[in-house]
Amino acid sequence: MTELRFHEMPDGRRIAYRFATGGGPTIVFLPGYMSDMAGGKASAVFDWAVSQWRTCLLVDYSGCGESSGDFADGTLSRWRDEVLALIEALCPGPVVLVGSSMGGWLMLLVALALPAERRAGLVGIAAAPDFTTWGRSDADKARLAAGETVYEPNQYGPEPTPTHPGFWADGQEHLLLGDDIGLDCPVRLLHGQADPDVPWEVSMRLAAVVRSADVQVTLIKDGDHRLSRDQDIALLLRTVAALVGEAG
């Protein structure tokens, strides 16, 4: 089943996914903002899972990659519900959620929506919870609150990166860093200290407010935001492998 497939949501949205069957908890990779399952980290995790006969799920959120929909309609709530629908349809047992950047925020929201016995572990890669707050100037917040889309330069592509008011408003309803996050599963956070987009201190804040006692933060001194160099991918795969192994 490793080929591209689609899951249809009740309103007709077609959510693209790839699924590899195997043993252990299901590894679910959650891409970052405007990213998709064709990215280097997602592909590396999936290929590793296939080679190790581990169950793995890759997802394209609606409006991203091969999924239907308009990116402008995307919100954390909408994408969380898509991920949960796929987990419900394909993954009856425990899951290890791996979230990159915005996917790290989504990882937490998905985990909080799952029963405790299904949370085998979390791996955040430059996790960016609450970035609608700390990642925005007061001027941008005012424009977004007034219903205006805000664009900023995109160092990873030719087109500017949009933040739509619907996404921003929904994000403000899902802020997590200001209070205890009621998750008790193992949590592993990887973050580059040369990350220009998400300060590494965000991972430290997250580690402090997650209730679990089994939280480890790994800082990569020369690591950038993407953490997609060979050595970064190797670290990610070691981290996932250890969590999956601990969970059986």
Measured CA to CA in angstroms, residue 150 lies from 75, 79, 143, 145, 167 at distances of 15, 20, 7, 11, 11
With 0-12 / 13-18 / 19 or more C-beta atoms within 10 angstroms meaning exposed / middle / buried, residue 199 is middle
The dihedrals phi and psi of 17, each to the nearest 5 degrees, come to: -155, 160
**Cα 18 → chain centroid:** 16
Choose, from 35, 62, 100, 101, the residue flagged as catalytic: 101
With 0-12 / 13-18 / 19 or more C-beta atoms within 10 angstroms meaning exposed / middle / buried, residue 158 is exposed
Cα(111)–Cα(197) distance, rounded to whole angstroms? Answer: 24
Is there a catalytic annotation at residue 174?
A: no
Is there a catalytic annotation at residue 101?
A: yes
Choose, from 7, 174, 191, 225, the residue flagged as catalytic: 225
Tell me the DSSP string of 108-122: HHHHHHS-GGGEEEE
Choose, from 60, 130, 170, 195, the residue flagged as catalytic: 195
Which strands sit side by side in the sheet containing 54-59, from one edge to the other? 5-8, 14-20, 54-59, 23-30, 95-100, 119-125, 187-192, 215-220
The torsion region of residue 34 among left (phi > 0), alpha (psi -120 to 50) and beta comes to left
Is there a catalytic annotation at residue 130?
A: no
Q: Scan for tokens 């249809």, then name that residue.
A: 8
Show the tokens assigned to 189. 């956070």
Q: Which amino acid is at 124?
A: G
Asked if 168 contacts 144 with a C-beta cutoff of 8 angstroms, the reply is yes
- Catalytic site residues? 101, 195, 225
